[in-house]
Chains A and B, each alone.
Chain A
């Protein structure tokens, strides 16, 4: 990825669910190695934008290219592309009928054709990376939410992705468990992983993101360095949103 090909390039992206237009023309790029946080009020379309990147949602119009490959081209091997794009969900989505190790090895073996030993070795490396080396025999239901989410990150990493998508990874967690997950993500960012993160964690966005994108009403309203967008937002809608998020007790009733 040393060339100048963007990790993600989105042009003129529209997405409608029935009559509801959720994305109204998004142009957006993520450079290799960049960490981009997408913030905005709920219903602003940020999760849909993320899900359009690996085509969990099919765009109504516009193009999405990942590593120079047009994801919306019906003739590409979508499964092959998705192997290179890790995704972490709000609800973890671990496989409850498999233990932790099998959660990490099943796709390696069924999709990449790795042998049991090689898949197990890679899985254990990634479990150690998220600090759960001792839990490989546990079942997801025996883990806390924070542990489950770290396993989910390790599962995605086991496929050796070049890009990671995070869809509100800490929104379903108890507050005291958020830190562990963000810590793992921060390590990942420090190692140079390309990351697109939909989040409500403004602290994480401020400290880790190279760029923050603020979305509202299906459009990108403002984007830039976190110290600009989060500390000195230019657009009134960004200002209003940040005021609500950063000072929830001081919210004025809407005029």
Chain B
């Protein structure tokens, strides 16, 4: 490219007393660092560290959270997430297969399901399952009561998202795979079950893990259902203890528990995606 600059151009640019691009970049970067340092110093000087520590990280309050924080709250969060994920996965697979069905009404039904549950707030579904359904059908008992309600609500919502993920995964399996299976005499169902779907699930492990992270956070919506002390999950547990101790530490610690799970899972997703990209 330098050959495109004629001697005359070079003289003109060099003649002006302007900064070279390199010098300008260096100054710009210096300014950004300076702003950052100033901001840290100002925050550090203005913050009432004593107050912050007492409110957010009061160790005596934190100690009182154990062991229920782990044995009840975190455990319940995990149980709600996994049961919801299980229901969502099975339902999502069914909806995905309906979405790909050659029977048109199945496709319409699957589309309607997906649009319906993706278009509503998860909280509304929770209230519907937790409050609306028992009101409408007073005799109804969910298996596992609250656990069943939560699994149902989380499953209904996540199935809509997972159905689209699974459908995309199935369609990402090359057509030749189905053809090869069919030419070996497999029926469509056998070919899907033993050839296409196993490959589709390999493709969608990263997005499904991502969905699990979302579910893990959405399990906090249990807050809006009436649950017993033994059914509390992290968010409700943190809120209740914040009230009783008049301190923010329980909420802060509950938040840390979420991050303890979501950050490693997020890291895992990126690792899986990188490995998948390599394998292609």
Residues of A in contact with B (beta carbons under 8 Å apart): 54, 56, 79-80, 82-83, 85-87, 89, 91, 93-97, 106-107, 110-112, 141, 152, 155-156, 159
Contact = CB atoms under 8 A, between A and B. Distances in A.
Given A89-B179, A91-B176, A96 B185 contact: no
Interface stretch (B62-70, B100-108, B191-199): B191-199
A56 B186 contact: no
B180 interface: yes
Most buried by B among A54, A83, A85, A111: A111
Nearest to B198: A97
A94 B177 CA distance: 7
B176 A110 contact: no
B184 A56 contact: no
A141 B202 CA distance: 15
Contact of B194 (A80, A87, A89, A110): A110
B195 A87 contact: no
Contacts of B176: 89, 91, 93
A95 B185 contact: no
A46 B174 CA distance: 22
B279 interface: yes
Contact of A87 (B177, B183, B187, B202): B183
B199 A110 contact: no
B82 interface: no
Interface in B181-222: 181-187, 190, 194-195, 198-199, 202
Contact of B180 (A93, A97, A112): A93
Given A93-B176, A93-B177, A106-B194, A56 B199 contact: no
- Kindly list the 10 A-B residue pairs having the minimum CB-CB distance in the complex, ordered from nearest: A83-B185, A107-B184, A93-B180, A93-B176, A87-B183, A111-B185, A82-B185, A79-B185, A97-B199, A79-B187
A155 B198 contact: no
A8 to B, nearest CB: 15
Contacts of A159: 184-185
B185 A107 contact: yes
Nearest to B202: A97
11 contacts: A79-B186, A82-B184, A89-B176, A95-B195, A95-B199, A97-B198, A110-B186, A111-B190, A155-B184, A156-B183, A159-B184
Contacts of B202: 97
B199 A96 contact: yes
Contacts of A85: 183
B184 A156 contact: yes
Contacts of A83: 184-185
Contacts of A87: 180, 183
Contacts of B198: 97
Contact of A82 (B177, B183, B194): B183
Nearest to B180: A93
Contacts of B185: 79-80, 82-83, 107, 111-112, 159
B187 A56 contact: no
Contacts of A82: 182-185
Interface in B15-49: none
Contacts of B195: 95, 106
